[in-house]
Chain A
Amino acid sequence: MRGLAVGTRALLKREILRYVRRPRNTFLPPFINNVLYFAVFGVILGSRIGSYGDGIPYIKFVLPGLVVLGAVSNGFENASFSIFHGRWNEYIHEVLTSPLSYRQLSFAYVAASALRGVLVGVIISVIGVVFTFAHPGYDVVGVAHPVYLAVSLVAVSALFACFGIVGGLWARDFDYLTVLNQFLIRPLVFFGGVFYPLSALDGVWYTVSLANPMVHMVDAVRYGFLGYAERDPALSLGILLVATGVVFAVDVALFARGYGLTE
């Protein structure tokens, strides 16, 4: 049989080209949203909120959370849309009738979507840098632990890309994707410590929040940027990596079973 690594690359390239060629749909909306977030939460409200942790200005405190929010949303949306749209118009059959293994299928879809999440995360980081550079009251935001940050951001994007595959296979209509985004992803994000520190919560809510994977993701990325974390950074990254591995295995199993794909 001919080299199957070529097959994986072909699907990966197809998936990446799909969003790279449509920047107005994929990269412009998070750019505009985050300019607004930084302007309102970082500059206008942030100067009144003061600082968190070790005297971290709010604009810097909120930046890692916004990066996670963008990476997660885009990783999830890309994977779920790509799979569901392919099912809806049945062109996913081009892939399903090919000799690509179920692991190769999962890898290509997840990697392309995770890359979109990372790219959006980088765009948001650059916006954060520009805002802190332009604001006379703040130091420019830096990266305290670059390798840790890079691994965390990739893991965060990949985890939600993996979830996106499950969503795309589960959805029976476009409404389902909206439901997942509005009723699952968004609450997890808003209660995941993007806009407030975990220590701001009472005991019970603090404990409940620990079950939210977003808490660990935001905390890990915040540690990468600022060197400040509320949880053990090694534990947060470990949870992220294990969760990504588990959900990826679920993706492969769903493809192998033909869930949502074959009758």
Chain B
Amino acid sequence: MTAAIEVEDLRKSYGEVQALDGLSLRVEEGEFFGLLGPNGAGKTTFINVLVGLVRKSGGHAEVFGHDVVDEYREARDAIGLAPQEFNVDRFFPIEEVLVHKAGYHGIPEDEALDRAHEALKRVGIYDKREERFDWLSGGMKRRLLLARALVTGPELLILDEPTAGVDVQLRHDLWEVVRDLNEHGTTILLTTHYIEEAERLCDRVAVVDDGRKVEVATPDDLMNRGTDTVTVTLRDAPAETPPLGDTLDRVESVELDGDRLVVRASNGGAVTPDLLNELEAMGHVVVDLDISRTSLEEIFVELTGDDR
């Protein structure tokens, strides 16, 4: 099957700064793919290479099998981009901005107008169609960027920090729109600082740092690599850490903190029943239990060494 995005050994340097340093990545058609990384990791540079706003220094990049340099027209026609920056034409009402954008992609004017209306309704700002961009609120501007990306009917939708600085309601609205698009076959590439977004939406995520891929996995896979924390509260505080038997081999550490026993294990849920049985066999009475799963954010910090 043709990949929606395939890049090999992608490089981009700005003088001494290596923004992309041999990035290789494959995003399958129809996938909801997340790109995580700290500021300056190279996420936006990577996106801009795909859409032609940055010239790569080396390597190879394709969108649906089309080289982004040699077959740039086919590659760009397949992409809808909602960028971080508000780069919208200020001279025209937003309805016309969308009609123009659709026109650049070869969509005849009548159809372009219908599509513009549909896109504006989809993101909930149809009533504002005759306003200019500068008169929209911050949230509406963000919605317009998504509408502009949708108006060309892209096979690949690229969302670069789409929910940065927006309220919770809008964030959920946008999630709903992109999830629906993905369910209907649109490939989505999402960069985000909100780990929760990646956890909720993405089939797979790539963690990128210093212009290189650090890891690619499903959010669940990544989370399974982390360490869970099982906190058992005992009725009577033991004088010393209880001497665990078979369970001890399956945990990473055991600490006693007053009446609380804190156990770290790679799979806390599987270890807990045996742990409780052992404690009860030793005569301890368990009065509370808490299992805290590793968050994707903690994995991310662990992988990139970034504690933002």
Contact = CB atoms under 8 A, between A and B. Distances in A.
Interface string B91-115: 1100001011111111111001000
Contacts of B88: 91, 94
Nearest to A5: B106
Interface in A8-32: 9-11, 13-14, 17-18
B307 interface: no
A98 B104 contact: yes
A216 B51 CA distance: 42
Interface in A69-104: 86, 89-91, 93-101
B124 interface: no
Given A1-B77, A6-B107, A9-B103, A91 B89 contact: yes
B91 A97 contact: no
Given A17-B92, A94-B89, A101-B73, A7 B105 contact: yes
Interface residues of B, number: 36
A101 B73 CA distance: 7
Given A91-B89, A94-B148, A6 B53 contact: no
Nearest to A6: B106
Contact of A99 (B87, B90, B104): B104
Contact of A258 (B55, B85, B103): B55
Interface residues of A, number: 30
Given A18-B91, A97-B53, A97-B81, A6 B103 contact: yes
Nearest to B100: A14
B244 interface: no
Contact of B52 (A9, A86, A262): A262
A203 interface: no
Contact of B73 (A1, A10, A11, A258): A1
Interface of A: 1-4, 6-7, 9-11, 13-14, 17-18, 86, 89-91, 93-101, 258, 261-263
